[in-house]
Amino acid sequence: MKIGLVGYKGSGKSMLFQWLTGQKPDPAMAHSLQSATVLIPEPRFQALSEIYKPKKITYAGIEIVDTPGLSRDQNGNATRLGQLRETDALIWVVPVFEGSEPFKEIAAFNDDVVIADLEIVLNRMEKVQEQNKRPVPKNEHERLEIEYETLKLLQEGLESGKPIKDDQLTQEQQRLTRGFRLLSSKPRMLMINTADDETDLNQYKKYAESDVPLVAVSVRLELELESMSATDKDAFLDEMQLSATDKNLVIKTILDASGQMTFMTAGEKEVRTWLIPKNGTALDAAAAIHSDMAKGFIRAEVTKADDLIRLGSERAVKAENLVRREPKDYIVNDGDIFLFHFS
């Protein structure tokens, strides 16, 4: 799971990368992509560790990718954005401090994304048309027609400023579009990078676009706070009448915005979280661990972590009939602990 930080130069991407991952990006590599992993916090692991005393605790992680800043004159941005095609979701960093022009920047970014995506779509349309002129088998001809129609839909969506979403497409069209890896169809989150002395984080809601989750953080302040001792930090926050941001909550929001969630497995060997797409099934969960588990899936045994923690042992949970047997199509819930039976 790769999540790209994207925005104009100086918007705070590299600082955000450092705050999230604990690693400082190398300024000498600022023209290319740099990535590091962020572990997804799981507060229930503390209690689960007391129950299982596992040899190992493993957290699922997401890869955060710092990217070269876009240019405000828009030159070369399509190429820079092209580097983000391989990511699964975007965190779009918008600065709101003195001297910044957030509304202008938000409009410019949307334009840049449309230009970058149109380039892909129009190129592909040209190729498809060329191929279709050649003598090709009938079913190939039909496939090219479908692709062309899909591309035309995407083009119209981009040009009207309303990029086509998956739910407006048939399954086959969705499969085709995924192959184009358009930036406008990736899950997106807005990260407002506020001034250090900002106290009213609610005012930033006005920058939100529909369906795009928004988080406001003073990234520079958070980095500064991390370099202080606990007592200095408390005194500083008190004096400035500020409060620190809950980084774990921000990471959870990022995970959620990227369309992913975690589930757990637990035993004496290992207590562990795994990633699956939100609303994934028991079969998806099995596949996340090993393809053999999905292939030979018989059933899943599901325990709610909260039940296990409350009752203190697997035996007690079983005695209360709280271990459920679930089929392939069971939809995974937050806090589910899975045990798979497979052949």
**Which residues lie near Mg ion (CB under 5 A)?**
13-14
Task: Rule CB under 6 A: choose which of 43, 73, 98, 135 binds ligand GDP.
Answer: 98
Closest-CA residue to 308 (of 75, 86, 15, 44): 44
What is the C-alpha separation between 264 and 60, in angstroms, rounded?
10
Nearest residue to the partner Mg ion, using Cβ: 14
The minimum distance between CB 124 and ligand GDP, in angstroms, equals: 31
Cβ-based nearer residue to ligand GDP, 9 or 310: 9
The minimum distance between CB 298 and Mg ion, in angstroms, equals: 49
Task: Rule CB under 6 A: choose which of 1, 45, 48, 69 binds ligand GDP.
Answer: 69
Cβ-based nearer residue to Mg ion, 77 or 281: 77
By DSSP bridging, strand 2-6 and strand 61-66 are: parallel
The minimum distance between CB 197 and ligand GDP, in angstroms, equals: 8
Verify binding: residue 121, ligand GDP, rule CB under 6 A.
no
Which range of residues in 12-20, 46-54, 135-143, 150-158 is near ligand GDP by CB under 6 A? 12-20
Verify binding: residue 195, ligand GDP, rule CB under 6 A.
yes
By DSSP bridging, strand 324-326 and strand 56-58 are: unpaired
The minimum distance between CB 255 and Mg ion, in angstroms, equals: 23
Verify binding: residue 211, ligand GDP, rule CB under 6 A.
no
Provide the binding-site residues for ligand GDP, judged by CB under 6 A.
7, 9-15, 69, 97-98, 195-196, 220
